[in-house]
């Protein structure tokens, strides 16, 4: 089960956050802002501290930052775009989905490009206040959870 989705811009500002489940811990706005900037900082530190460098350079979009964290209480997956925006999803530990978390983030990125970047009133790097995007995320997550539920019930 998915818990939270948050999106951080290239300067470390939180531009979107959403709980994806009623089981998700309730987090206040100030805490979300802190989480977004802290994750951005840790991602940057991980990029600099990585002993292995990915082929390419910053201009090509290669990045050595945090891609996944598995902890006892949750799994976190991050997708950083070539423009530096980070899409992050958290899920319950050992969440098995028919589609992996990376693919889910790529689909949410497609929703972002279709709904937000094509909106003439949306300004890059600013908070996302696009109802079409929010509804698209909700519908997509529900669809993935239905697929996952039907797949897991067939396995049992």
pLDDT tens readout for residues 16-64: 999 999 889 899 999 999 999 999 999 999 988 877 666 554 444 446 7
User: Of 63, 60, 38, 59, nearest to 48 (Cα)?
Assistant: 63
Structure tokens at 39: 């994750």
Bridge partners (DSSP) of residue 1 are none
User: What pLDDT does 57 receive?
Assistant: 47
Q: Which domains does the chain have, with CATH numbers?
A: 2-155 (3.30.450.70)
pLDDT band at 99 (very low <50, low <70, confident <90, very high): low
Distance CA 90, CA 77 (A): 6
- 131-155 and 101-115 helices, crossing angle to 10°: 160
Pick from 10, 9, 27: nearest CA to 18:
27
pLDDT at 152 over 60: no
pTM for this structure? 0.86
The full DSSP string for 54-81 is: PSS-GGGT---S--EEE-SS-EEEEEE-
Mean pLDDT of 118-123: 93
Cα–Cα distances in angstroms (integers) from residue 61 to residues 5, 9, 93, in the given order: 22, 15, 29
Position 145 scores a pLDDT of 85
Position 48 scores a pLDDT of 85
């Amino acid at each position: 089960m998915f818990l939270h989705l948050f999106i951080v811009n290239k300067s470390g500002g939180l531009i979107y956050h959403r709980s994806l489940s009623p089981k998700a811990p309730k987090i206040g706005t100030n805490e979300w802002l802190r989480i977004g900037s802290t994750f951005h900082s840790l991602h940057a530190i991980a990029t600099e501290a990585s002993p292995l460098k990915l082929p390419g350079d910053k201009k090509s979009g290669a990045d050595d930052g945090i891609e996944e964290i598995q902890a006892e209480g949750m799994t976190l997956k991050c997708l950083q775009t070539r423009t530096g925006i980070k899409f992050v999803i958290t899920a319950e530990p050992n969440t098995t989905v028919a589609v992996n978390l990376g693919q889910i983030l790529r689909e949410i990125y497609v929703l972002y490009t279709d709904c937000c970047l094509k909106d003439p009133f949306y300004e890059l790097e600013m908070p996302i206040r696009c109802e079409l995007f929010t509804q698209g995320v909700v519908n997509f997550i529900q669809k993935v959870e239905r697929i996952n539920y039907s797949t897991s019930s067939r396995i049992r």
